[in-house]
Structure 1
Amino acid sequence: MRITYLLAAIALVSLTRCKKMPNDGYPFYLRINEVQLNTQSVTQGANTNGITDVWIEANSTNLGGNQFPIEMPILEEGTVRLVIQAGIKANGFAEARIMYPFYAADTATLTNVKRLDKIIHKPIFTYKPLTKFRFLEDFEFGNQFSYTMDKVNNGDVAYGNWCGKLSINSTQTEKETQSTTAMVLPGGTESWIEFDYKADASFEVGIYAGPNRLSKLFLFPKQNWTKFYLNVGNEIGSYKGEQFNIFFKVKMPEGASSANVWIDNVKLLTF
Protein backbone atom coordinates (compact mmCIF):
# COMPACT_ATOMS: atom_id res chain seq x y z
CA MET A 1 0.00 0.00 0.00
CA ARG A 2 2.84 2.40 0.86
CA ILE A 3 4.51 1.59 -2.49
CA THR A 4 1.26 2.40 -4.34
CA TYR A 5 1.00 5.80 -2.62
CA LEU A 6 4.67 6.50 -3.33
CA LEU A 7 4.34 5.65 -7.03
CA ALA A 8 1.22 7.83 -7.32
CA ALA A 9 3.02 10.76 -5.69
CA ILE A 10 6.03 10.37 -8.01
CA ALA A 11 3.74 10.25 -11.06
CA LEU A 12 1.89 13.40 -9.94
CA VAL A 13 5.13 15.31 -9.41
CA SER A 14 6.43 14.17 -12.80
CA LEU A 15 3.26 15.27 -14.58
CA THR A 16 3.37 18.66 -12.83
CA ARG A 17 6.99 19.21 -13.81
CA CYS A 18 6.41 18.15 -17.40
CA LYS A 19 3.31 20.30 -17.91
CA LYS A 20 4.17 23.25 -20.14
CA MET A 21 3.32 26.60 -18.62
CA PRO A 22 1.76 29.28 -20.86
CA ASN A 23 4.36 31.60 -22.40
CA ASP A 24 7.08 29.49 -20.72
CA GLY A 25 6.07 31.04 -17.42
CA TYR A 26 6.13 34.65 -18.63
CA PRO A 27 2.87 36.63 -18.29
CA PHE A 28 1.31 39.20 -20.51
CA TYR A 29 0.14 42.44 -18.91
CA LEU A 30 -3.43 43.70 -19.00
CA ARG A 31 -3.66 47.44 -18.38
CA ILE A 32 -6.97 49.01 -17.27
CA ASN A 33 -6.82 52.78 -16.89
CA GLU A 34 -10.53 53.61 -16.85
CA VAL A 35 -14.01 52.15 -17.19
CA GLN A 36 -17.27 53.35 -18.68
CA LEU A 37 -20.95 52.87 -17.85
CA ASN A 38 -23.44 53.05 -20.72
CA THR A 39 -27.11 53.68 -19.95
CA GLN A 40 -30.35 54.37 -21.75
CA SER A 41 -30.86 57.80 -20.24
CA VAL A 42 -34.66 57.95 -20.50
CA THR A 43 -35.35 54.60 -18.82
CA GLN A 44 -32.14 54.06 -16.80
CA GLY A 45 -31.01 57.56 -15.91
CA ALA A 46 -27.56 59.11 -16.13
CA ASN A 47 -24.38 57.12 -16.66
CA THR A 48 -22.57 58.57 -13.64
CA ASN A 49 -20.88 55.83 -11.67
CA GLY A 50 -18.66 55.16 -8.68
CA ILE A 51 -16.91 52.06 -9.98
CA THR A 52 -13.62 51.76 -8.09
CA ASP A 53 -12.52 48.18 -8.76
CA VAL A 54 -12.43 45.56 -11.49
CA TRP A 55 -12.81 41.84 -10.83
CA ILE A 56 -11.01 39.97 -13.59
CA GLU A 57 -11.42 36.44 -14.90
CA ALA A 58 -9.11 35.16 -17.66
CA ASN A 59 -9.96 31.84 -19.35
CA SER A 60 -12.08 30.89 -16.32
CA THR A 61 -9.27 31.67 -13.86
CA ASN A 62 -10.47 34.10 -11.20
CA LEU A 63 -7.81 36.76 -10.61
CA GLY A 64 -9.73 38.61 -7.90
CA GLY A 65 -10.64 42.26 -7.52
CA ASN A 66 -8.28 45.21 -7.83
CA GLN A 67 -8.51 48.98 -7.85
CA PHE A 68 -7.79 50.62 -11.16
CA PRO A 69 -5.72 51.90 -12.85
CA ILE A 70 -3.97 48.56 -12.74
CA GLU A 71 -1.49 46.56 -14.79
CA MET A 72 -2.30 42.91 -14.12
CA PRO A 73 0.16 40.11 -15.02
CA ILE A 74 -1.78 37.19 -16.51
CA LEU A 75 -0.21 33.81 -17.22
CA GLU A 76 -2.12 32.95 -20.40
CA GLU A 77 -1.30 32.91 -24.11
CA GLY A 78 -2.97 32.67 -27.50
CA THR A 79 -6.69 33.30 -27.20
CA VAL A 80 -7.67 34.77 -23.85
CA ARG A 81 -11.31 35.23 -22.86
CA LEU A 82 -11.79 38.06 -20.34
CA VAL A 83 -14.79 38.51 -18.06
CA ILE A 84 -14.59 41.71 -16.01
CA GLN A 85 -17.02 42.67 -13.26
CA ALA A 86 -17.52 46.19 -11.88
CA GLY A 87 -16.69 46.69 -8.21
CA ILE A 88 -18.01 49.40 -5.88
CA LYS A 89 -17.75 50.40 -2.22
CA ALA A 90 -20.97 49.20 -0.62
CA ASN A 91 -22.44 51.93 1.59
CA GLY A 92 -19.27 53.95 0.97
CA PHE A 93 -17.04 51.65 3.03
CA ALA A 94 -13.59 50.92 1.62
CA GLU A 95 -13.55 47.57 3.44
CA ALA A 96 -16.83 46.54 1.75
CA ARG A 97 -15.69 46.29 -1.86
CA ILE A 98 -18.07 44.09 -3.82
CA MET A 99 -19.14 43.28 -7.36
CA TYR A 100 -22.16 45.52 -7.91
CA PRO A 101 -25.10 43.20 -8.57
CA PHE A 102 -26.84 45.41 -11.16
CA TYR A 103 -23.94 45.93 -13.59
CA ALA A 104 -23.49 43.33 -16.32
CA ALA A 105 -19.97 42.00 -16.88
CA ASP A 106 -17.74 43.34 -19.63
CA THR A 107 -16.44 40.54 -21.86
CA ALA A 108 -13.65 40.54 -24.43
CA THR A 109 -11.64 37.99 -26.38
CA LEU A 110 -7.96 38.71 -26.94
CA THR A 111 -6.22 36.83 -29.75
CA ASN A 112 -2.60 35.96 -30.51
CA VAL A 113 -1.48 36.98 -27.02
CA LYS A 114 2.26 36.53 -26.48
CA ARG A 115 4.46 36.68 -23.43
CA LEU A 116 5.27 40.15 -22.11
CA ASP A 117 2.62 41.74 -24.34
CA LYS A 118 1.13 44.92 -22.86
CA ILE A 119 -2.57 45.18 -23.71
CA ILE A 120 -4.78 48.13 -22.77
CA HIS A 121 -8.48 47.42 -22.32
CA LYS A 122 -11.33 49.73 -21.32
CA PRO A 123 -14.24 47.79 -19.76
CA ILE A 124 -17.69 49.04 -20.71
CA PHE A 125 -20.50 48.15 -18.33
CA THR A 126 -24.28 48.30 -18.66
CA TYR A 127 -27.19 47.55 -16.35
CA LYS A 128 -28.31 43.92 -16.37
CA PRO A 129 -31.50 43.37 -18.42
CA LEU A 130 -33.44 42.17 -15.36
CA THR A 131 -32.75 45.38 -13.40
CA LYS A 132 -35.95 47.17 -12.39
CA PHE A 133 -35.79 50.94 -11.90
CA ARG A 134 -38.37 51.47 -9.16
CA PHE A 135 -37.50 55.14 -8.72
CA LEU A 136 -35.65 57.48 -11.07
CA GLU A 137 -35.10 61.22 -10.60
CA ASP A 138 -32.51 63.35 -12.38
CA PHE A 139 -34.37 66.67 -11.89
CA GLU A 140 -34.23 67.45 -15.61
CA PHE A 141 -38.01 67.44 -16.13
CA GLY A 142 -39.48 67.52 -12.64
CA ASN A 143 -38.89 66.91 -8.95
CA GLN A 144 -40.27 63.81 -7.24
CA PHE A 145 -39.24 65.02 -3.79
CA SER A 146 -41.18 67.15 -1.33
CA TYR A 147 -41.04 70.95 -1.54
CA THR A 148 -38.09 71.17 0.88
CA MET A 149 -35.87 69.88 -1.94
CA ASP A 150 -35.30 72.76 -4.34
CA LYS A 151 -34.66 72.15 -8.01
CA VAL A 152 -31.72 74.30 -9.10
CA ASN A 153 -29.79 75.11 -12.24
CA ASN A 154 -26.51 76.68 -11.17
CA GLY A 155 -24.18 75.27 -13.81
CA ASP A 156 -22.66 72.75 -11.37
CA VAL A 157 -24.56 69.47 -11.59
CA ALA A 158 -23.51 65.83 -11.73
CA TYR A 159 -25.33 65.34 -15.02
CA GLY A 160 -27.51 67.41 -17.34
CA ASN A 161 -28.64 70.91 -16.33
CA TRP A 162 -30.55 70.49 -13.06
CA CYS A 163 -30.13 68.93 -9.63
CA GLY A 164 -31.84 68.94 -6.25
CA LYS A 165 -30.67 71.06 -3.32
CA LEU A 166 -31.36 71.17 0.41
CA SER A 167 -30.42 74.55 1.90
CA ILE A 168 -30.65 75.62 5.54
CA ASN A 169 -29.82 78.86 7.34
CA SER A 170 -30.12 80.54 10.74
CA THR A 171 -33.91 80.75 10.51
CA GLN A 172 -34.42 77.16 9.30
CA THR A 173 -31.73 74.98 10.84
CA GLU A 174 -32.80 71.60 9.50
CA LYS A 175 -34.63 70.17 6.50
CA GLU A 176 -35.84 66.75 5.47
CA THR A 177 -37.16 65.80 2.05
CA GLN A 178 -38.97 62.63 1.01
CA SER A 179 -39.80 61.09 -2.33
CA THR A 180 -43.43 61.95 -2.97
CA THR A 181 -44.55 58.69 -4.58
CA ALA A 182 -44.70 55.70 -2.24
CA MET A 183 -43.26 52.46 -3.64
CA VAL A 184 -44.37 48.91 -2.90
CA LEU A 185 -41.20 46.86 -3.24
CA PRO A 186 -40.48 43.13 -3.26
CA GLY A 187 -38.54 41.69 -0.34
CA GLY A 188 -35.94 38.97 -0.65
CA THR A 189 -34.05 40.56 -3.54
CA GLU A 190 -31.20 42.99 -4.05
CA SER A 191 -32.38 46.54 -3.33
CA TRP A 192 -30.05 49.52 -3.70
CA ILE A 193 -30.34 53.30 -3.83
CA GLU A 194 -27.90 55.14 -6.08
CA PHE A 195 -27.36 58.89 -6.03
CA ASP A 196 -24.77 61.58 -6.72
CA TYR A 197 -24.11 64.18 -4.06
CA LYS A 198 -21.88 66.94 -2.83
CA ALA A 199 -22.33 68.76 0.46
CA ASP A 200 -20.74 71.28 2.79
CA ALA A 201 -22.30 69.58 5.83
CA SER A 202 -22.99 66.03 6.95
CA PHE A 203 -26.44 64.71 6.07
CA GLU A 204 -28.63 61.68 6.67
CA VAL A 205 -30.10 59.25 4.15
CA GLY A 206 -32.58 56.45 4.65
CA ILE A 207 -36.05 55.18 3.83
CA TYR A 208 -39.52 55.25 5.30
CA ALA A 209 -41.35 51.93 5.47
CA GLY A 210 -44.89 53.11 6.05
CA PRO A 211 -44.67 55.13 9.31
CA ASN A 212 -41.30 53.59 10.22
CA ARG A 213 -38.35 55.91 9.71
CA LEU A 214 -35.28 53.80 8.94
CA SER A 215 -32.15 55.91 9.11
CA LYS A 216 -29.37 54.23 7.17
CA LEU A 217 -26.24 56.41 7.16
CA PHE A 218 -24.82 59.86 7.83
CA LEU A 219 -22.58 61.00 4.99
CA PHE A 220 -19.66 63.38 5.38
CA PRO A 221 -19.26 66.61 3.39
CA LYS A 222 -17.78 66.33 -0.12
CA GLN A 223 -16.54 69.24 -2.21
CA ASN A 224 -16.87 67.32 -5.48
CA TRP A 225 -19.72 65.24 -6.86
CA THR A 226 -19.55 61.69 -5.51
CA LYS A 227 -21.49 58.59 -6.53
CA PHE A 228 -22.96 56.62 -3.64
CA TYR A 229 -24.41 53.10 -3.50
CA LEU A 230 -26.69 52.38 -0.53
CA ASN A 231 -27.80 48.82 0.20
CA VAL A 232 -31.36 48.83 1.58
CA GLY A 233 -32.16 45.17 0.94
CA ASN A 234 -32.41 44.22 4.62
CA GLU A 235 -34.69 47.13 5.45
CA ILE A 236 -37.04 46.43 2.56
CA GLY A 237 -37.05 42.71 3.32
CA SER A 238 -37.91 43.35 6.97
CA TYR A 239 -40.91 45.54 6.09
CA LYS A 240 -42.27 43.62 3.12
CA GLY A 241 -45.69 44.90 2.09
CA GLU A 242 -45.13 48.44 3.35
CA GLN A 243 -44.94 51.49 1.13
CA PHE A 244 -41.46 52.96 0.87
CA ASN A 245 -40.12 56.48 0.44
CA ILE A 246 -36.52 57.71 0.19
CA PHE A 247 -35.48 60.56 2.47
CA PHE A 248 -32.55 62.96 2.89
CA LYS A 249 -32.07 65.22 5.92
CA VAL A 250 -29.54 67.91 6.82
CA LYS A 251 -29.08 69.71 10.16
CA MET A 252 -27.03 72.79 10.87
CA PRO A 253 -23.47 71.96 11.98
CA GLU A 254 -22.31 73.52 15.22
CA GLY A 255 -20.85 76.97 14.62
CA ALA A 256 -22.20 77.27 11.05
CA SER A 257 -24.75 79.77 9.76
CA SER A 258 -25.74 77.91 6.58
CA ALA A 259 -25.37 74.50 4.95
CA ASN A 260 -26.17 72.95 1.59
CA VAL A 261 -26.57 69.46 0.15
CA TRP A 262 -26.83 68.89 -3.60
CA ILE A 263 -28.44 65.65 -4.84
CA ASP A 264 -28.70 64.28 -8.38
CA ASN A 265 -29.52 61.09 -10.29
CA VAL A 266 -31.43 59.25 -7.58
CA LYS A 267 -32.32 55.64 -8.44
CA LEU A 268 -33.84 52.77 -6.49
CA LEU A 269 -33.07 49.42 -8.11
CA THR A 270 -34.29 45.87 -7.54
CA PHE A 271 -34.55 42.68 -9.56
Structure 2
Amino acid sequence: MNRFLLVLTFAFILLGFTACPPDAEVAPAFVEVEDIALSTNSGEGANTTAITEVWVFANNSFIGAFPLPARIPVARVGSTELRFEAGIRQNGISRTPDIYEFYAPITRNLDLQPGNTIDLGTLTTTYRTDAQFAFIEGFETNSSRVFTDQVVGEATLIPVQDVVRSGSFSGRLQLSTDDPLVELGTADPLSGLTDKRPYVWLEVDFRSTAPVVWGIQGNIGIEPVRLFDPGFQPRNEWTKIYFNLSEIIVRSTLDEYRLVLSALLPEGSENAEVYLDNVKLLYF
Protein backbone atom coordinates (compact mmCIF):
# COMPACT_ATOMS: atom_id res chain seq x y z
CA MET A 1 0.00 0.00 0.00
CA ASN A 2 1.52 3.34 -0.95
CA ARG A 3 1.76 6.37 1.33
CA PHE A 4 -1.17 8.14 -0.39
CA LEU A 5 -3.50 5.29 0.49
CA LEU A 6 -2.17 5.20 4.05
CA VAL A 7 -2.98 8.87 4.51
CA LEU A 8 -6.49 8.32 3.12
CA THR A 9 -6.97 5.53 5.65
CA PHE A 10 -5.76 7.87 8.40
CA ALA A 11 -8.32 10.47 7.38
CA PHE A 12 -11.20 8.02 7.56
CA ILE A 13 -10.11 6.88 11.01
CA LEU A 14 -10.07 10.45 12.30
CA LEU A 15 -13.61 10.91 10.99
CA GLY A 16 -14.79 7.89 12.90
CA PHE A 17 -15.26 5.46 10.02
CA THR A 18 -14.23 1.85 10.51
CA ALA A 19 -13.19 -0.50 7.73
CA CYS A 20 -14.58 -4.00 7.71
CA PRO A 21 -12.26 -6.42 9.53
CA PRO A 22 -10.78 -9.38 7.66
CA ASP A 23 -13.29 -11.61 9.43
CA ALA A 24 -16.55 -9.78 10.07
CA GLU A 25 -17.60 -12.51 12.54
CA VAL A 26 -14.68 -11.79 14.88
CA ALA A 27 -15.20 -9.11 17.52
CA PRO A 28 -12.05 -7.03 17.84
CA ALA A 29 -9.63 -7.03 20.69
CA PHE A 30 -8.48 -3.60 21.83
CA VAL A 31 -4.93 -2.39 22.39
CA GLU A 32 -4.37 0.87 24.23
CA VAL A 33 -1.29 3.06 23.78
CA GLU A 34 -0.97 6.15 25.96
CA ASP A 35 2.03 7.73 24.25
CA ILE A 36 5.35 7.06 22.50
CA ALA A 37 8.54 8.31 24.16
CA LEU A 38 12.03 8.57 22.69
CA SER A 39 15.13 7.20 24.37
CA THR A 40 18.43 8.63 23.11
CA ASN A 41 22.03 7.54 23.46
CA SER A 42 25.16 9.64 23.72
CA GLY A 43 25.68 11.50 20.46
CA GLU A 44 21.98 11.62 19.59
CA GLY A 45 21.01 14.79 21.45
CA ALA A 46 17.98 15.40 23.63
CA ASN A 47 14.88 13.18 23.56
CA THR A 48 12.26 15.84 22.76
CA THR A 49 9.49 14.72 20.40
CA ALA A 50 6.21 15.78 18.84
CA ILE A 51 4.72 12.35 18.15
CA THR A 52 1.01 12.83 17.47
CA GLU A 53 -0.17 9.47 16.10
CA VAL A 54 0.67 5.80 16.22
CA TRP A 55 0.56 3.85 12.94
CA VAL A 56 -0.30 0.21 13.58
CA PHE A 57 0.36 -2.99 11.62
CA ALA A 58 -0.86 -6.48 12.58
CA ASN A 59 1.21 -9.31 11.08
CA ASN A 60 2.49 -6.71 8.57
CA SER A 61 -1.04 -5.68 7.51
CA PHE A 62 -1.90 -2.01 8.01
CA ILE A 63 -4.58 -1.46 10.65
CA GLY A 64 -4.66 2.33 10.76
CA ALA A 65 -3.16 5.52 12.18
CA PHE A 66 -4.57 6.63 15.53
CA PRO A 67 -4.23 9.89 17.48
CA LEU A 68 -2.49 9.47 20.83
CA PRO A 69 -3.62 8.38 23.33
CA ALA A 70 -5.07 5.56 21.22
CA ARG A 71 -7.55 2.74 21.67
CA ILE A 72 -6.89 0.44 18.72
CA PRO A 73 -9.36 -2.22 17.53
CA VAL A 74 -7.59 -5.29 16.16
CA ALA A 75 -9.71 -7.99 14.48
CA ARG A 76 -7.30 -10.84 15.15
CA VAL A 77 -7.43 -13.84 17.47
CA GLY A 78 -4.50 -15.49 19.21
CA SER A 79 -0.81 -14.75 18.84
CA THR A 80 -0.37 -11.60 16.75
CA GLU A 81 2.67 -9.48 16.00
CA LEU A 82 1.81 -5.80 16.27
CA ARG A 83 4.16 -3.16 14.88
CA PHE A 84 3.84 0.43 16.06
CA GLU A 85 5.36 3.33 14.10
CA ALA A 86 5.67 6.87 15.47
CA GLY A 87 3.63 9.40 13.50
CA ILE A 88 4.45 13.10 13.17
CA ARG A 89 3.14 16.09 11.18
CA GLN A 90 5.44 16.84 8.26
CA ASN A 91 6.58 20.49 8.40
CA GLY A 92 4.20 21.00 11.33
CA ILE A 93 1.14 20.89 9.06
CA SER A 94 -1.89 19.00 10.38
CA ARG A 95 -2.93 17.75 6.94
CA THR A 96 0.41 16.00 6.33
CA PRO A 97 0.62 13.13 8.83
CA ASP A 98 3.50 10.77 8.19
CA ILE A 99 5.55 7.99 9.73
CA TYR A 100 8.86 9.38 10.95
CA GLU A 101 11.20 6.75 9.64
CA PHE A 102 14.19 7.75 11.74
CA TYR A 103 12.37 6.38 14.79
CA ALA A 104 12.64 2.61 15.15
CA PRO A 105 9.46 0.50 14.91
CA ILE A 106 8.19 -1.02 18.15
CA THR A 107 6.97 -4.62 18.01
CA ARG A 108 4.91 -6.59 20.49
CA ASN A 109 3.69 -10.19 20.23
CA LEU A 110 0.30 -10.28 21.90
CA ASP A 111 -2.30 -12.95 22.59
CA LEU A 112 -5.46 -11.24 21.38
CA GLN A 113 -8.93 -12.36 22.45
CA PRO A 114 -12.23 -10.88 21.17
CA GLY A 115 -13.47 -8.07 23.37
CA ASN A 116 -10.42 -8.04 25.63
CA THR A 117 -8.32 -4.92 26.20
CA ILE A 118 -4.53 -4.86 26.53
CA ASP A 119 -3.05 -1.64 27.91
CA LEU A 120 0.53 -1.10 26.74
CA GLY A 121 0.90 2.29 28.43
CA THR A 122 3.71 4.42 27.01
CA LEU A 123 5.84 2.73 24.37
CA THR A 124 9.50 3.67 23.94
CA THR A 125 11.28 4.06 20.63
CA THR A 126 14.86 4.92 19.69
CA TYR A 127 16.57 6.35 16.65
CA ARG A 128 17.16 3.65 14.05
CA THR A 129 20.68 2.25 14.02
CA ASP A 130 21.15 3.36 10.39
CA ALA A 131 20.02 6.95 11.06
CA GLN A 132 22.85 9.42 10.48
CA PHE A 133 23.25 12.86 12.07
CA ALA A 134 24.79 15.51 9.83
CA PHE A 135 24.87 17.74 12.92
CA ILE A 136 23.25 18.26 16.31
CA GLU A 137 23.05 21.79 17.73
CA GLY A 138 22.05 21.87 21.38
CA PHE A 139 23.99 25.05 22.27
CA GLU A 140 25.65 23.32 25.20
CA THR A 141 29.10 24.38 26.38
CA ASN A 142 30.82 21.14 25.33
CA SER A 143 29.93 21.45 21.63
CA SER A 144 30.96 23.71 18.77
CA ARG A 145 28.45 26.10 17.18
CA VAL A 146 26.81 25.05 13.91
CA PHE A 147 25.19 28.22 12.50
CA THR A 148 28.11 30.63 12.34
CA ASP A 149 28.17 31.64 8.66
CA GLN A 150 26.79 35.21 8.58
CA VAL A 151 24.82 35.43 5.32
CA VAL A 152 22.68 38.54 5.98
CA GLY A 153 22.55 40.89 8.97
CA GLU A 154 24.71 41.19 12.05
CA ALA A 155 22.90 39.26 14.81
CA THR A 156 24.12 35.79 15.79
CA LEU A 157 22.76 32.85 17.74
CA ILE A 158 23.95 33.34 21.31
CA PRO A 159 23.76 30.54 23.92
CA VAL A 160 21.50 31.60 26.81
CA GLN A 161 20.19 29.93 29.96
CA ASP A 162 17.05 31.92 30.79
CA VAL A 163 14.82 30.27 28.15
CA VAL A 164 15.71 26.61 27.58
CA ARG A 165 13.89 23.62 26.08
CA SER A 166 16.31 20.99 27.42
CA GLY A 167 19.80 20.84 28.87
CA SER A 168 21.38 24.04 30.18
CA PHE A 169 21.36 26.26 27.09
CA SER A 170 19.35 27.26 24.04
CA GLY A 171 20.29 29.64 21.24
CA ARG A 172 18.82 33.15 21.01
CA LEU A 173 18.68 35.33 17.91
CA GLN A 174 17.60 38.95 18.39
CA LEU A 175 16.08 41.07 15.62
CA SER A 176 15.56 44.84 15.66
CA THR A 177 14.64 47.68 13.34
CA ASP A 178 18.38 48.19 12.82
CA ASP A 179 18.85 44.50 12.02
CA PRO A 180 15.45 43.27 10.71
CA LEU A 181 16.58 40.40 8.46
CA VAL A 182 19.14 37.88 9.62
CA GLU A 183 20.30 34.79 7.75
CA LEU A 184 22.73 32.32 9.27
CA GLY A 185 24.27 29.33 7.52
CA THR A 186 26.02 26.22 8.74
CA ALA A 187 29.72 26.68 9.40
CA ASP A 188 30.61 23.69 7.25
CA PRO A 189 29.17 22.80 3.83
CA LEU A 190 27.03 19.69 3.55
CA SER A 191 27.17 17.03 0.84
CA GLY A 192 26.22 13.42 0.12
CA LEU A 193 23.13 13.42 2.33
CA THR A 194 20.91 11.95 -0.42
CA ASP A 195 23.45 9.50 -1.89
CA LYS A 196 21.80 6.41 -0.37
CA ARG A 197 18.27 7.73 -0.19
CA PRO A 198 16.59 11.13 -0.73
CA TYR A 199 15.29 11.34 2.84
CA VAL A 200 16.67 14.29 4.83
CA TRP A 201 14.83 15.86 7.77
CA LEU A 202 15.50 18.71 10.16
CA GLU A 203 14.26 18.54 13.75
CA VAL A 204 13.84 21.91 15.48
CA ASP A 205 12.62 22.95 18.92
CA PHE A 206 11.72 26.64 18.85
CA ARG A 207 10.02 29.49 20.67
CA SER A 208 9.81 32.71 18.70
CA THR A 209 8.18 36.08 18.15
CA ALA A 210 9.37 36.17 14.52
CA PRO A 211 8.81 33.86 11.54
CA VAL A 212 11.73 31.73 10.36
CA VAL A 213 12.20 29.81 7.12
CA TRP A 214 14.83 27.17 6.34
CA GLY A 215 16.62 26.49 3.11
CA ILE A 216 19.88 25.70 1.39
CA GLN A 217 22.31 27.75 -0.61
CA GLY A 218 25.31 26.96 -2.76
CA ASN A 219 26.75 27.51 -6.22
CA ILE A 220 26.58 25.74 -9.55
CA GLY A 221 29.67 27.09 -11.21
CA ILE A 222 29.57 30.82 -10.57
CA GLU A 223 25.76 30.91 -10.32
CA PRO A 224 24.34 31.15 -6.78
CA VAL A 225 21.46 28.80 -5.89
CA ARG A 226 19.10 29.51 -2.98
CA LEU A 227 16.03 27.43 -2.17
CA PHE A 228 13.85 28.03 0.88
CA ASP A 229 10.70 26.14 1.74
CA PRO A 230 9.61 25.00 5.21
CA GLY A 231 9.41 27.37 8.14
CA PHE A 232 7.52 28.29 11.27
CA GLN A 233 5.35 31.13 12.51
CA PRO A 234 5.75 32.76 15.94
CA ARG A 235 4.88 30.59 18.94
CA ASN A 236 4.86 31.62 22.60
CA GLU A 237 5.52 28.09 23.85
CA TRP A 238 8.26 25.65 22.97
CA THR A 239 7.23 23.69 19.89
CA LYS A 240 8.91 20.90 17.94
CA ILE A 241 8.61 20.59 14.17
CA TYR A 242 10.00 17.98 11.79
CA PHE A 243 10.93 19.61 8.47
CA ASN A 244 11.29 17.47 5.35
CA LEU A 245 14.18 18.98 3.37
CA SER A 246 14.46 16.11 0.89
CA GLU A 247 12.71 17.82 -2.01
CA ILE A 248 14.60 21.12 -1.95
CA ILE A 249 17.95 19.34 -1.65
CA VAL A 250 17.22 17.09 -4.62
CA ARG A 251 15.66 19.92 -6.64
CA SER A 252 18.68 22.16 -6.11
CA THR A 253 21.04 19.67 -7.85
CA LEU A 254 23.79 21.10 -5.65
CA ASP A 255 26.73 18.84 -4.83
CA GLU A 256 27.60 20.98 -1.82
CA TYR A 257 25.47 23.42 0.15
CA ARG A 258 24.89 25.08 3.49
CA LEU A 259 21.71 24.91 5.51
CA VAL A 260 20.45 28.44 6.12
CA LEU A 261 17.86 29.89 8.52
CA SER A 262 16.25 33.21 7.63
CA ALA A 263 14.50 35.26 10.34
CA LEU A 264 12.48 38.39 9.60
CA LEU A 265 11.27 41.08 12.00
CA PRO A 266 7.44 41.20 11.80
CA GLU A 267 5.95 44.36 10.35
CA GLY A 268 5.13 46.89 13.07
CA SER A 269 7.51 45.33 15.63
CA GLU A 270 10.55 47.07 17.00
CA ASN A 271 12.27 43.87 18.08
CA ALA A 272 11.77 40.11 18.14
CA GLU A 273 13.52 37.05 19.53
CA VAL A 274 14.01 33.55 18.16
CA TYR A 275 14.97 30.74 20.52
CA LEU A 276 16.20 27.43 19.09
CA ASP A 277 17.19 24.18 20.74
CA ASN A 278 17.87 20.57 19.74
CA VAL A 279 18.39 21.31 16.05
CA LYS A 280 19.20 18.00 14.33
CA LEU A 281 19.76 17.21 10.65
CA LEU A 282 19.18 13.52 9.89
CA TYR A 283 19.61 11.32 6.83
CA PHE A 284 20.21 7.68 5.87
TM-score in terms of structure 1 length: 0.84
Instruction: List runs of 5+ in structure 2 lacking aligned partners.
Output: 1-21
Which residue identity lines up with residue 167 of structure 2 in the other structure?
G
1:193-208 matches, within 5 Å, as 193-208=202-217
- Deviation string for 1:25-76 (max 9, x for gaps)? 2222111111111111x32221111211111012333112121111112122
Deviation at 1:150, TM superposition (A): 2.6
**Paired position in structure 2 for 1:152:** 159
TM-superposed CA distance for 1:129, in Å, is: 1.3
Give the Cα separation in 1 of the matches to 2:135 and 2:77. 45
Deviations 1:207-242 (A, max 9, x none): 223432211134111111111111111222234453
Contact 1:151/1:162 (8 A) holds in 2: no
Please identify which structure carries the higher helix content.
1
Aligned partner of 2:145 in structure 1 is: 143
User: Any gaps of 5 or more consecutive residues in structure 1?
Assistant: 1-19
Bigger mean CA offset, 186-195 vs 249-258: 186-195
The number of equivalent residue pairs is 249
Q: CA deviation at 1:199?
A: 0.8
Q: What's 2:57 paired with?
A: 57
* Counterpart in the other structure of 1:238: 251
Distance 1:149 1:118, change over 3 A: farther
**Matched residue, 1:209:** 218
Question: Is 1:169–2:176 an aligned residue pair?
Answer: yes
Q: Counterpart of 2:27 in structure 1: which amino acid?
A: Y
For 1:215 and 1:26, how far apart are their aligned partners in 2?
A: 50
2:179 is aligned with 1:178: no
Question: Which residue of structure 2 aligns with residue 92 of structure 1?
Answer: 92
Cα distance in 2 for partners of 1:43, 1:251 equals 32
Q: TM-score, normalised by structure 2?
A: 0.81
Q: Which amino acid aligns with 2:174?
A: S
Partner of residue 13, structure 2: none
2:229–2:248 CA contact under 8 A, matched in 1:
no
Partner of 1:28: 29
Segment of structure 1 superposing worse, 152-161 or 29-38: 152-161
- Give % identity: 29
